[in-house]
Amino acid sequence: MDQHAKVYIAGHRGLVGSAILRKLTRDFDTEIICRTRQELDLCNQAEVMKFFAEKKPEYVFLAAAKVGGILENQTYPAKFIYENVMMQSNLIHAAYKYNVKKLLFLGSSCIYPKLALQPIKEEYLLTGELEPTNAAYAVAKITGIQMCQAYNSQYGTKFISIMPTNLYGPNDNFDLTSSHVLPALIRKFHEAKINHLPNVEIWGTGKPRREFLHVDDLADACLFLMDIYEGNQPINVGVGKDISIQELAALVGGVIGYSGEILYNCAMPDGTPRKLLDIAKITDLGWQSKIKLEDGIANTYQWYLNSLANHRT
């Protein structure tokens, strides 16, 4: 990617988009274009087309998405599928119409079959039933990947798709009604600590296993792949090892300094039993993650504490 190129980050205030923005700002001399949701409605095709016609970005990171945890996915499936399909469709089509040199689409590891063989290879996509608790979101993301492939095939575009594992880091969502597991644990343990609560309740059995990638590592992978990868097939991005939710809870509790009891509410859903990505393809290309999980949790907890302090002031 040209160091002086015009780069548009869709979703620059989100977890992934903000990490890409930090990386670009620190390491590149590009002209970065960003718009808030109030300035540009990505679900509005006319607005998106006008924006691309005026700004003519050369590279696009499509990190904008409607995301959430199990509860929000189950409660608002129509909202998840509608908003994600609309945003993706408008941005991918506009990128084609206005001759974007390269677009990187952010998929998700949750689009793989619920009972996929482990570790999950890219070719396992669409080989089995999805996890019901996030099926609407997964179908939307699969549609985005298929769109990139179709436009590459029909129009000769260079639209690549990546499938990151579970992400965490600065600018994560810590709302307990809509967050993913790791930020939810950070908030629960922090509040239990400061309120001297005797226990913390966690949804499910704690047995499912998950892989966690710090979002700054993902941003590094995005820039790496934008530079060298031109394959039509999506590519996994992860750390290559997983951890049970029970082990994760103990790790988060240790970082935060909470010593109370951890209770598991087995009446709540576990979700997919295991989700570990096969990262052989990106490893063979020469990339690997750098941030250890414990260090990343400590970094994220510090960011959370700072955000609470800033909110109070």
204 is in an annotated binding site: no
Q: In angstroms, rounded to a whole number, what is the distance separating the alpha carbons of residues 221 and 3? A: 17
Confirm or deny that 99 is annotated as ligand binding: no
Measure the CA–CA gap between 28 and 21, rounded to whole angstroms. 10
Q: In whole angstroms, what separates CA 149 from the centre of its chain?
A: 20
Would the annotation count 26 as a binding residue? Answer: no
The answer on whether 108 is annotated among ligand-binding residues is yes
Please confirm, yes or no, whether 137 is among the known catalytic residues. yes
Helix (H/G/I), strand (E/B), else coil: 277: strand
Identify the active-site residue in 59, 96, 137, 304: 137
Q: Is 17 annotated as a binding residue?
A: yes
Q: Is 109 annotated as a binding residue?
A: yes
DSSP of 33-63, one letter per residue? E---TTT--TT-HHHHHHHHHHH--SEEEE-
- 271 is known to lie in a ligand binding site: no
Q: Please give the Cα distance from 111 to 25 (Å, whole number).
A: 31
Is residue 209 marked as binding? Answer: no
Residue type at 164 in one-letter notation: P
216 belongs to an annotated ligand binding site: no
Q: How far is CA 308 from CA 23, 174, 175, 303, in A?
A: 24, 11, 13, 9
Is 114 a known ligand-binding residue? no
CB 109 within 8 A of CB 236: yes
Query: Does 107 belong to an annotated binding site?
Result: yes
16 in a known ligand binding site: yes
- Alpha helices by DSSP H, listed for 156-292, are 181-194, 215-228, 245-256, 280-285
Task: Return binding residues for NADP(+).
Answer: 11-17, 106-109, 141, 164-167, 180
Task: Return binding residues.
Answer: 11-17, 106-109, 141, 164-167, 180, 188, 203, 210, 270
Report, as residue numbers or ranges, the catalytic residues: 137
